[in-house]
Every structure is written in C-alpha cells, then in structure tokens.
Structure 1
C-alpha cells in the first residue's frame, strides 16, 4: 500500500509503530528530502503542529549517502545545519535493521538525538526520534 503524509498523521501511535516494524530498512537515502514532524498522531492537532514546526523549525534533511552524512534543513529559510552520521544498524524499537541517523559525535546541539528511518514507499521513509533512549516523536521524509 502506498502512504502519504496525511495518512500517517491520521494514524495512531500504535499504527505508526506497527507500520515501522513491518517495513524494510531500505537503502541509505541520497539527496534532499522534505520532512514532516508527526506530533500527537491521530489527533486534530497533528497537522497544525507539523505546519508550525515546518515553518519555524525543521523542513527536512539533505543526505550524502556516499559520505554517510546528512544535514538538517532548519529555520524558516532552510539553513543546512545539525550534521548526523548515517548508517545501517539495529532499531531500538524492534531490534531489526533500520537506517540510523546518529548525532552523538557530530552535533553539540543534538548530541543525545538518534533518529531511525525505514522505507514505507517509493522514496518515502517513516522515522522515529529518540532523546537518549526515550522516544519523542515520529516524522516522515519524502524524496
């Protein structure tokens, strides 16, 4: 089944987790991806929160698969900052392979952040954000 951002925001947290668990890691992405934060999934607030985050905070990521790095697009003008190492590893959610976005050695600001992504459709990834070992939010990336 093909998914879109609206469908993901309408899902419950349990449905998002089940989709993530059922999806393959996919390849390490390359290029620019539009990002959408998924906060309060399955509620009327999810889309509004995502819009506010997109305008003022985070718009997506730019991957360099060859170097195993990415930069986040942040602030209202899409400034590329906050670097992460990108590699395949074990998911903290279910122990299966995922693509890990690791900020621990590359960013003082995001030192305790770890993202995990899996491919849920053509050029479409679902992600989980962790602060330390605590899960924060979900997000998606459209290439």
Structure 2
C-alpha cells in the first residue's frame, strides 16, 4: 500500500510507531528522496510545521547505496551536506532490523544524531530521529 504524505502527516505518534514497527527494513535506498519532517504527529498544525522545516531547513536525503553513505539536502538553497554512514542494524525502538543513518563519525554538527528508516511502501520510507538514545521526531522519505 502506498502512502500519501497528507495521510502520514495526520497520523498520531502511536500510529507512526505501529507503522514503523510493522514494516520491514527493505534494501538500502539509492538516489534522491524528498523528505517531510513530522514534528507534531496528529496535530492539526503539523502540516504547516513540516512546510516551514522543508523550506528553511531540510528538504530530503541523497543516498549512495554503493558507498553506504548519504548527504542531507538543507537550507533554502538545497545545499548537500551533513554526511552519514548507512548500514543495516537493529532499531533502538523495537530491536528489529532497520536501516541506520549514522552521523556519529561523519559529522561534527550531527554527531549525536542517529536516524532509523524502514520501507513502508515502494519508494517510501518512514524514519525516526534520535538525539543520543532519545527519540525526537519522525520523518517520511519519498523516492
């Protein structure tokens, strides 16, 4: 089942966690993905926040599966920066397999950040962002 971003952005925290937990890790993606930050799951203003974040801060991720890395697309100018290592590992959320986006050794700015993603549909991934071991937000990627 494919997901519409409008559908995903309206999900509650519990619904997003359930979708993440029920999904397989999938293969490590390759190429550009449009990203949507899900800051306030289920809140009516979540869409507005996501649009602001998308315009001013973060637009998505560019994966290079062959090298096992990615760069984030950030700023209103689409700067490609903030490198991460990409590999399969166990999720901190439910200890099941996921794809880990690890910034600890590749970024001074984001060295305490760890993202985890799982494939929820063809060319669609749901992610979690951690600061240390504390989960911060969800995000959605569309390739």
Q: TM-score, normalised by structure 2?
A: 0.99
Aligned to 1:101: 101
Aligned length: 143
Alpha-carbon distance, 1:45 to partner: 1.3
Secondary structure at the aligned position of 1:73 is classed as strand
**Which runs of structure 2 are paired with 1:1-143 in the superposition (5 Å)?**
1-143=1-143
What residue ranges of structure 1 are gaps of 5+ in the alignment?
A: none
Alpha-carbon distance, 1:3 to partner: 1.2
Compute the RMSD of aligned alpha carbons: 0.5
Secondary structure at the aligned position of 1:24 is classed as coil
What residue ranges of structure 2 are gaps of 5+ in the alignment?
A: none
Q: TM-score, normalised by structure 1?
A: 0.99
Deviations 1:90-140 (A, max 9, x none): 000000000000000000000000000000011000000000000000000
Which runs of at least 4 in structure 1 moved beyond 2 Å after TM superposition? none
